[in-house]
Amino acid sequence: MTEKNNQLDVVKSLIKKFYNSTENDELRTPLLKAYNRLEDGADVGDIAAHAASAVNYLRKADNLTLSSEQEDTWRQLRDMGTADVLYHDPKNNLLNLDEM
């Protein structure tokens, strides 16, 4: 339980750090959604993977350039994610704004 709480704290910290490092609302929206899902008790590994996937999708779709700090934060978030979700997330479900 302590390890899971520690992982939760780390992922929430990474999401918050990334959220505060950008003014881009397109990036902030899925990050806020991920943070809120963690607050609601969602699986930490799944949400970390979905958040990293959403950021990567937006980065590639909008040709966004991340700062070196943002890139490092994104990589840490990605590494905290569940591998299954990272490789099988066809709909990037944190990007579905209709759920908000």
Q: Measure the CA–CA gap between 25 and 97, rounded to whole angstroms.
A: 12
Question: Tens digits of per-residue pLDDT, 10-32?
Answer: 999 999 999 999 999 999 999 99
* The predicted structure's pLDDT at residue 2: 72
Q: Give the pLDDT of residue 100.
A: 34
Residue type, 34: A
81 HSE (CA, 13 A, CB side): 26
Taking the model in full, what pTM does it have?
0.83
From residue 99, alpha-carbon distances to 8, 10, 36, 90 in Å are 23, 25, 12, 17
What are the residue ranges spanned by the domains of the chain? 3-87
Say how far apart CA 94 and CA 29 lie, in whole Å. 8
> Is the domain 3-87 a CATH 3.40.50.20 member?
no
